[in-house]
Amino acid sequence: MENIANIFVKSVFIDNMIFAYFLGMCSYLAVSKTVKTSFGLGVAVAFMLTITVPINYLIENYLLCKGAMTWISPSFADVDLSFLTFIVFIAVVASMTQLVEMVVEKFSPSLYNSLGIFLPLIAVNCAILGGSLFMAERSYANVGEAAVFGFGSGIGWLLAIVSLAAIREKIKYSKIPKALDGLGIAFIIVGLMGLAFMGFMGIKL
Protein backbone atom coordinates (compact mmCIF):
# COMPACT_ATOMS: atom_id res chain seq x y z
CA MET A 1 0.00 0.00 0.00
CA GLU A 2 2.81 2.37 0.94
CA ASN A 3 4.54 1.46 -2.31
CA ILE A 4 1.44 2.37 -4.33
CA ALA A 5 1.21 5.79 -2.62
CA ASN A 6 4.90 6.37 -3.29
CA ILE A 7 4.50 5.58 -6.99
CA PHE A 8 1.52 7.94 -7.21
CA VAL A 9 3.25 10.90 -5.53
CA LYS A 10 6.43 10.26 -7.50
CA SER A 11 4.64 10.19 -10.85
CA VAL A 12 2.56 13.31 -10.11
CA PHE A 13 5.26 15.60 -8.75
CA ILE A 14 8.81 14.29 -9.08
CA ASP A 15 8.54 12.61 -12.50
CA ASN A 16 5.89 15.00 -13.80
CA MET A 17 5.43 14.35 -17.52
CA ILE A 18 5.54 18.03 -18.46
CA PHE A 19 8.02 19.57 -16.08
CA ALA A 20 10.49 16.74 -15.59
CA TYR A 21 10.49 15.15 -19.05
CA PHE A 22 8.80 17.79 -21.27
CA LEU A 23 6.55 15.19 -22.88
CA GLY A 24 3.28 16.13 -24.56
CA MET A 25 4.40 19.72 -25.01
CA CYS A 26 2.64 20.43 -28.34
CA SER A 27 -0.96 20.04 -27.21
CA TYR A 28 0.03 21.41 -23.78
CA LEU A 29 0.98 24.78 -25.28
CA ALA A 30 -1.68 24.86 -27.97
CA VAL A 31 -4.80 24.00 -25.95
CA SER A 32 -4.05 25.79 -22.67
CA LYS A 33 -5.87 29.02 -23.57
CA THR A 34 -8.92 28.47 -21.37
CA VAL A 35 -9.32 26.37 -18.23
CA LYS A 36 -12.45 24.62 -19.55
CA THR A 37 -10.98 23.10 -22.72
CA SER A 38 -7.65 22.37 -21.08
CA PHE A 39 -9.44 20.50 -18.31
CA GLY A 40 -11.24 18.45 -20.97
CA LEU A 41 -8.01 17.57 -22.74
CA GLY A 42 -6.30 16.88 -19.41
CA VAL A 43 -9.04 14.43 -18.43
CA ALA A 44 -8.78 12.74 -21.85
CA VAL A 45 -5.00 12.36 -21.49
CA ALA A 46 -5.27 11.13 -17.89
CA PHE A 47 -7.91 8.61 -18.96
CA MET A 48 -5.76 7.42 -21.87
CA LEU A 49 -2.70 7.00 -19.65
CA THR A 50 -4.72 5.15 -16.99
CA ILE A 51 -6.01 2.68 -19.60
CA THR A 52 -3.05 2.24 -21.95
CA VAL A 53 -0.30 1.79 -19.36
CA PRO A 54 -1.82 -1.31 -17.66
CA ILE A 55 -2.90 -2.78 -21.05
CA ASN A 56 0.61 -2.34 -22.38
CA TYR A 57 1.99 -3.78 -19.15
CA LEU A 58 -0.06 -6.94 -19.61
CA ILE A 59 0.86 -7.21 -23.31
CA GLU A 60 4.53 -6.71 -22.59
CA ASN A 61 4.76 -9.14 -19.71
CA TYR A 62 2.52 -11.89 -21.08
CA LEU A 63 3.22 -11.70 -24.82
CA LEU A 64 6.30 -9.72 -25.83
CA CYS A 65 9.10 -10.26 -23.28
CA LYS A 66 11.58 -13.08 -23.66
CA GLY A 67 9.94 -16.21 -22.28
CA ALA A 68 6.74 -14.33 -21.50
CA MET A 69 4.54 -16.81 -23.35
CA THR A 70 5.40 -19.82 -21.21
CA TRP A 71 1.90 -19.56 -19.73
CA ILE A 72 0.53 -20.78 -23.09
CA SER A 73 2.94 -23.64 -23.54
CA PRO A 74 6.43 -24.36 -22.10
CA SER A 75 7.79 -24.74 -25.65
CA PHE A 76 7.50 -20.96 -26.13
CA ALA A 77 10.23 -20.28 -23.55
CA ASP A 78 12.72 -19.10 -26.18
CA VAL A 79 10.35 -16.81 -28.05
CA ASP A 80 11.39 -13.16 -27.80
CA LEU A 81 9.00 -10.69 -29.42
CA SER A 82 10.36 -7.56 -27.74
CA PHE A 83 11.29 -6.08 -31.13
CA LEU A 84 7.55 -5.54 -31.62
CA THR A 85 7.24 -3.36 -28.49
CA PHE A 86 6.97 0.03 -30.22
CA ILE A 87 4.51 -1.08 -32.88
CA VAL A 88 2.23 -2.81 -30.41
CA PHE A 89 2.35 0.08 -27.91
CA ILE A 90 1.50 2.59 -30.64
CA ALA A 91 -1.30 0.40 -31.98
CA VAL A 92 -2.84 0.12 -28.50
CA VAL A 93 -2.57 3.88 -27.92
CA ALA A 94 -4.04 4.70 -31.34
CA SER A 95 -6.99 2.33 -31.00
CA MET A 96 -7.77 3.66 -27.51
CA THR A 97 -7.64 7.22 -28.88
CA GLN A 98 -10.20 6.28 -31.51
CA LEU A 99 -12.43 4.99 -28.73
CA VAL A 100 -12.05 8.12 -26.61
CA GLU A 101 -12.67 10.31 -29.65
CA MET A 102 -15.93 8.53 -30.42
CA VAL A 103 -17.06 8.82 -26.78
CA VAL A 104 -16.23 12.54 -26.58
CA GLU A 105 -17.93 13.24 -29.91
CA LYS A 106 -21.07 11.47 -28.73
CA PHE A 107 -21.34 12.87 -25.20
CA SER A 108 -19.74 16.31 -25.41
CA PRO A 109 -19.87 17.84 -28.91
CA SER A 110 -18.82 21.27 -27.61
CA LEU A 111 -15.63 19.84 -26.09
CA TYR A 112 -15.09 17.85 -29.29
CA ASN A 113 -15.27 21.03 -31.36
CA SER A 114 -13.08 23.10 -29.07
CA LEU A 115 -10.35 20.45 -28.97
CA GLY A 116 -10.39 20.14 -32.76
CA ILE A 117 -7.35 18.41 -34.18
CA PHE A 118 -5.74 17.96 -30.77
CA LEU A 119 -8.07 15.14 -29.78
CA PRO A 120 -6.91 12.74 -32.56
CA LEU A 121 -3.39 14.03 -31.91
CA ILE A 122 -3.53 12.24 -28.53
CA ALA A 123 -2.80 9.10 -30.59
CA VAL A 124 0.75 10.31 -31.11
CA ASN A 125 1.01 12.32 -27.91
CA CYS A 126 4.50 11.71 -26.58
CA ALA A 127 3.23 11.79 -22.97
CA ILE A 128 1.10 8.69 -23.55
CA LEU A 129 3.63 6.61 -25.46
CA GLY A 130 6.25 7.91 -23.02
CA GLY A 131 4.15 6.63 -20.11
CA SER A 132 4.13 3.13 -21.60
CA LEU A 133 7.85 3.22 -22.33
CA PHE A 134 8.73 4.47 -18.83
CA MET A 135 6.56 1.67 -17.47
CA ALA A 136 8.57 -0.86 -19.52
CA GLU A 137 11.85 0.71 -18.43
CA ARG A 138 11.09 0.83 -14.71
CA SER A 139 9.73 -2.75 -14.60
CA TYR A 140 6.92 -2.39 -12.07
CA ALA A 141 6.13 -5.44 -9.98
CA ASN A 142 2.50 -5.94 -10.99
CA VAL A 143 -0.28 -4.51 -13.11
CA GLY A 144 -1.69 -2.51 -10.18
CA GLU A 145 1.54 -0.55 -9.79
CA ALA A 146 1.62 0.10 -13.54
CA ALA A 147 -1.97 1.35 -13.45
CA VAL A 148 -1.19 3.68 -10.52
CA PHE A 149 1.84 4.98 -12.38
CA GLY A 150 -0.28 5.67 -15.47
CA PHE A 151 -3.00 7.36 -13.43
CA GLY A 152 -0.48 9.46 -11.50
CA SER A 153 1.26 10.59 -14.69
CA GLY A 154 -2.11 11.56 -16.15
CA ILE A 155 -3.03 13.53 -13.04
CA GLY A 156 0.35 15.26 -13.19
CA TRP A 157 -0.31 16.25 -16.82
CA LEU A 158 -3.84 17.44 -15.96
CA LEU A 159 -2.46 19.51 -13.06
CA ALA A 160 0.16 21.06 -15.32
CA ILE A 161 -2.21 22.02 -18.15
CA VAL A 162 -4.91 23.39 -15.83
CA SER A 163 -2.42 25.51 -13.89
CA LEU A 164 -0.94 26.90 -17.11
CA ALA A 165 -4.42 27.64 -18.48
CA ALA A 166 -5.37 29.42 -15.25
CA ILE A 167 -2.24 31.59 -15.44
CA ARG A 168 -2.86 32.37 -19.11
CA GLU A 169 -6.47 33.37 -18.40
CA LYS A 170 -5.27 35.82 -15.72
CA ILE A 171 -2.40 37.15 -17.80
CA LYS A 172 -4.81 38.41 -20.46
CA TYR A 173 -5.38 41.44 -18.22
CA SER A 174 -1.70 42.32 -17.90
CA LYS A 175 0.22 44.65 -20.13
CA ILE A 176 2.58 42.47 -22.18
CA PRO A 177 4.55 43.68 -25.19
CA LYS A 178 2.33 42.93 -28.16
CA ALA A 179 4.82 40.60 -29.84
CA LEU A 180 5.34 38.59 -26.67
CA ASP A 181 1.63 38.14 -26.01
CA GLY A 182 0.21 34.68 -26.54
CA LEU A 183 2.73 32.02 -27.48
CA GLY A 184 5.91 33.78 -26.33
CA ILE A 185 4.73 34.49 -22.80
CA ALA A 186 3.32 30.94 -22.57
CA PHE A 187 6.77 29.50 -23.29
CA ILE A 188 8.35 31.71 -20.64
CA ILE A 189 5.68 30.81 -18.06
CA VAL A 190 6.22 27.09 -18.73
CA GLY A 191 9.97 27.61 -18.33
CA LEU A 192 9.47 29.31 -14.96
CA MET A 193 7.04 26.60 -13.83
CA GLY A 194 9.58 23.99 -14.91
CA LEU A 195 12.24 25.71 -12.82
CA ALA A 196 9.86 25.67 -9.85
CA PHE A 197 9.13 21.97 -10.34
CA MET A 198 12.85 21.25 -10.36
CA GLY A 199 12.61 21.79 -6.62
CA PHE A 200 11.03 18.33 -6.42
CA MET A 201 14.06 16.73 -8.04
CA GLY A 202 16.19 14.63 -5.80
CA ILE A 203 13.39 13.75 -3.39
CA LYS A 204 13.70 10.02 -2.79
CA LEU A 205 10.58 8.07 -1.96
Partner 1 sequence: MSNSPKRSLIDGLANGLGYGFILIVVAFFRELLGSGTIWNYQVVPQAFYDAGYMNNGLMIMPPMALIAVGIIVWIQRAHQQKKEEGK
Which CB atom, from 25 or from 63, has the smaller least distance to partner 1? 25
Q: Is 124 in the site for partner 1 (CB under 8 A)?
A: no
Q: Applying CB under 8 A, which of residues 5, 72, 184, 203 lies at the interface with partner 1?
A: 184
How wide is the angle at C-alpha 170 spanned by C-alphas 166 and 175, nearest 5°? 145
- Between CA 41 and CA 102 the distance in angstroms is 14
Q: Within positions 7 to 26, which residues make up the interface with partner 1, using CB under 8 A?
A: 19, 22
CB of 110 to partner 1, least distance (A): 30
CB of 201 to partner 1, least distance (A): 10
Which CB atom, from 72 or from 196, has the smaller least distance to partner 1? 196
Q: Please give the single-letter amino acid code of residue 165.
A: A
Q: Quick one: which segment of 51-59, 117-125, 149-157, 182-190 binds partner 1 (CB under 8 A)?
A: 182-190
Q: Please give the single-letter amino acid code of residue 191.
A: G
165: number of Cβ within 10 Å:
23
DSSP letter for 124, please. Answer: G
CB of 133 to partner 1, least distance (A): 18
- Between CA 77 and CA 59 the distance in angstroms is 16
Which CB atom, from 25 or from 65, has the smaller least distance to partner 1? 25
Alpha-carbon dihedral of residues 163, 164, 165, 166, nearest 10 degrees? 50
Residues that bind partner 1 (CB under 8 A): 19, 22, 177-180, 183-188, 190-195, 198
